[in-house]
Structure 1
């Protein structure tokens, strides 16, 4: 099976990025996914940051902008060049060490192996194509970048095992039909199984329809 990540990133244009924080992090998080950005997502992002950090699926760089004082070195990774250019503007030159346009289903350069204390995947997994088992390949590629004690963490909107309200169901339907999301079969169990294949220590907390996860001690 050939997995294409382009449908999940093509929505991020210079125009849509100007509306992203308002629509996704304010309206959608509060009223569709019931996972408040300020109460849950920002603390989750900050709590697991290492001094040398990579953010994958950068969006607008919202979480990084809130956390610059906590990070010494930052790498940005995204398939969408618009997102990278948008986010890069907010990162001081002395902190930004890499800005990579990369498909996570493809291996990273070996020179990046074991380079990062922390890697964040916020709202990335539900945009990746396929089932959680398919997405495991992307997480495996990412795991090589972590140091021995490094932590992989993030958030993802679930499609199974959670109760979506009317607004959430409508967004899920639209986004999955357009290929922006691919998460109808994503559940806590499938997320845990996928992460446990690659890491010894897994933690998952569900808030609303969003799973906040951490994975440490890679296998």
Structure 2
């Protein structure tokens, strides 16, 4: 395990051992579909569509989607990367059948030093809305993951954005509470800014808004495609 850490962020404090055990029934299966308007099966399918057998997952949470998406190979190369040790331990146990490697890292730092070479897919699941600042500022995470990638690597994930929050009373109640508790910081996040950040760095960029959840995907370009 490698460790290169900045000061702990408020957003990771919610992921206690107890919090991780209630996270799936409370957040994934209740809040996500009923408040944010995105069924968990939609996110599982998003993973299925983009994950490869040579995969790095950043901001692993409980490993809910990795546990359900399936891999092309029964023995994938799977790297779990997170700033919260509880999340890494919980998810590694859950996915022990794949023998994942775990790395204690901060996505706000460049992702250098992981052994084994670049990955064919890299996911940023539910981590962007936990970072402080607006999306143009947060988008430096796409630069920091460059050491994990090569031309053709799939970049994908999901994040809560403010688009659609005013449309439901439940969202207008829950959204400010989570921001006030500093569990998330996404009041200034817009799906258009996410698409712009991806398009400035990658090709084949797509952002799909489902409720308040922006599902995104992109591909690391080759030198030739960059020149076009």
Match of 2:172 among 169, 172, 187: 169
Aligned mates of 2:191, 2:116 — CA distance in 1: 28
The answer to whether residue 90 in structure 2 is matched with residue 103 in structure 1 is no
Aligned mates of 1:182, 1:112 — CA distance in 2: 32
The corresponding residue for 1:154 is 157
The corresponding residue for 2:18 is 15
The answer to whether residue 67 in structure 2 is matched with residue 65 in structure 1 is yes
Give the unaligned 5+ runs of structure 1: none
> How many aligned residue pairs are there?
215
The corresponding residue for 1:53 is 55
Question: In structure 1, the residue corresponding to 2:153 is in which secondary structure?
Answer: strand
Q: In the TM superposition, what is the alpha-carbon distance from 1:152 to its structure 2 partner?
A: 0.6
| 8 Å CA contact retained: 1:113, 1:146 | no
Aligned mates of 2:98, 2:215 — CA distance in 1: 30
Q: In the TM superposition, what is the alpha-carbon distance from 1:217 to its structure 2 partner?
A: 2.9
Aligned mates of 1:197, 1:12 — CA distance in 2: 32
Aligned mates of 1:203, 1:155 — CA distance in 2: 11
Give the unaligned 5+ runs of structure 2: 1-5
CA RMSD of superposed structures (Å): 2.0
Question: In structure 2, the residue corresponding to 1:211 is in which secondary structure?
Answer: strand
Q: In the TM superposition, what is the alpha-carbon distance from 1:44 to its structure 2 partner?
A: 0.3
Aligned mates of 1:144, 1:163 — CA distance in 2: 38
Match of 1:130 among 125, 128, 133: 133
Higher strand share: 1
The answer to whether residue 88 in structure 2 is matched with residue 84 in structure 1 is yes
| 8 Å CA contact retained: 1:161, 1:187 | no
| 8 Å CA contact retained: 1:160, 1:185 | no
C-alpha change, 1:140 and 1:14, in structure 2 (3 Å) is same
Please, what TM-score do these two structures have when normalized by structure 1?
Answer: 0.91
Output one character per residue of 1:21-64: Cα deviation in whole Å (capped at 9) or x when no partner: 011111111111111111x1110011101110011111111111
Q: In the TM superposition, what is the alpha-carbon distance from 1:214 to its structure 2 partner?
A: 0.2
Aligned mates of 2:85, 2:66 — CA distance in 1: 17
Q: In the TM superposition, what is the alpha-carbon distance from 1:164 to its structure 2 partner?
A: 4.1
Aligned mates of 2:167, 2:212 — CA distance in 1: 7
Question: In structure 2, the residue corresponding to 1:89 is in which secondary structure?
Answer: helix
